[in-house]
Amino acid sequence: MRDVAIIGVGTTHFGELWERSLRDLAAEAALKAIDDAGVDRIESIWAGCMTGGLFNGQEHIGALVADQIGCNPVPAARIESACASGGMALRAGWFEVASGASDIVMAMGVEKMNDVSGARATYALAAASDRDYEAFHGATFPGLYALIAVDHMHRFGTTREQLADVAVKNHNHGQHNEYAQFRMPITREQVISSTKVADPLNILDCSPITDGASAVILCPLDDAAKFTKNAPIKIAGIAACTDSLALHEREDLSEFRATAEAAQKAYDMAKCTHRDIDVAEVHDCFTIAEICVTEALGFFERGQGGPAASKGITSHGGKIPINTSGGLKSKGHPVGATGIAQMYALVNQLRGTMGKMQVPNAKRALAQNMGGTGASAVVTVLEKV
């Protein structure tokens, strides 16, 4: 297997992009990544998209992307793993380059979520849960994550204030991200007093409905200099795992086992541990998700993710900065694109081009992208070469 590098990245703005279509967003991110990489051809495309059919009435996303950026007749396919679709697209592209099947591959993600009503968006997102045992009976993702939060609070003493501090931190980071959906700081008091969604989660604990796309260009690490002047960023470790689709089937409601298993495999592949990570982007679809994920990744012991956020340990300037892009909470969460958007942020961190959110001397970064209530997860470790 060959070592694989990311040599180009591109993204759109994230938000309620009423005048932009699914194809417009996909093409913009893809062409930006091609331009950033400086390549003159693409040999294959893997496109992450959770549910273009329900949001936009559009399936066959791979062919759509290839056509829109003038890459026919290259092979192109859509990858779906709920909100982990982008991470899985990256993994598919990594396999293709690592195996020697192709030399220049695009992995991208796109979602256009605001073209339907709130009720329709809720229905589409619920497709990532267990339809028979959860969605059919009225369980929504805020409700399911509320169950996770209640369990974590009961067992470990996590507080309402600690949940709020995750949102405050990520908005503080996201105000410096020119592509973020919500570029305004918020306070703990605003989070706690915001509209209740599913107790104990309020509206400011929840990631938004978002339109957007992101893309990366992959090539063999040894050949990177042939294609681009950018310093290559090595994919040092990448792994994916799954867990029970329905939350009630799990032995531990607030343990993200798929994330923990994927993380260990990615650490082993990268020959590192969580202690070697300088900066991370994690899947904070809800504030409790970030707390549980940071524990599953090994950054903190069970029950210590909440206190870490309140103490500033996961803030920019802290011991392990988390979501310096603003995360899903502030940057936005176009579900199929999120895993690739994490790559955009981390590649810029390792290039040293993250502006006010730059982590000094960052050499190794981690991304964690998951679907549903963590039933699928992808963990990627990047290294500055």
For the four alpha carbons of 256, 261, 266 and 267, in that order, the dihedral sign comes to: positive
> In terms of domains, do 26 and 161 share one?
no
**What CATH number corresponds to the domain at position 180?**
3.40.47.10
> In terms of domains, do 113 and 133 share one?
no
* Structural domains in the chain (count): 2
Torsion of the alpha carbons at 127, 47, 257 and 150, rounded to the nearest 10: -50
The pLDDT tens digits for 97-116 are 999 999 999 999 999 999 99
The pLDDT tens digits for 6-21 are 999 999 999 999 999 9
**What average pLDDT does the segment 21-37 reach?**
97
Q: Say whether 292 is catalytic.
A: no
> In terms of domains, do 29 and 166 share one?
no
The pLDDT tens digits for 130-156 are 999 999 999 999 999 999 999 999 999
Q: Which letter does DSSP use for residue 207 in this model?
A: P
> In terms of domains, do 144 and 111 share one?
no
287-296 and 257-270 helices, crossing angle to 10°: 50
* Closest among 116, 147, 3 to 51, alpha carbons compared: 116
Specify if 122 maps to a domain: no
Q: Check pLDDT > 90 for residue 69.
A: yes
- Chain centroid offset of residue 356 CA: 21
Point out the catalytic residue in the list 83, 206, 219, 285.
Answer: 83
Long-range contacts of 68-74 (CB under 8 A, 24+ apart): 68/23, 68/26, 68/27, 68/30, 69/27, 69/30, 69/31, 69/34, 69/42, 71/42, 71/45, 74/42, 74/43, 74/44, 74/45
> In terms of domains, do 107 and 222 share one?
yes
Q: How far apart are CA 325 and CA 175, in angstroms?
A: 9
The pLDDT tens digits for 301-311 are 999 999 999 99
Point out the catalytic residue in the list 171, 173, 283, 333.
Answer: 333
Specify if 178 maps to a domain: yes
> In terms of domains, do 55 and 193 share one?
no
> In terms of domains, do 217 and 357 share one?
no
- Chain centroid offset of residue 119 CA: 24
Q: In the structure encoding, which two tokens stand for residue 116, read together?
A: 């339907």
Q: Say whether 83 is catalytic.
A: yes
DSSP helix/strand/coil, 354:
coil
89 contacts 107 by C-beta, under 8 angstroms: yes
The pLDDT tens digits for 293-332 are 999 999 999 999 999 999 999 999 999 999 999 999 999 9
Domain enclosing residue 258, as ranges: 128-206+236-384
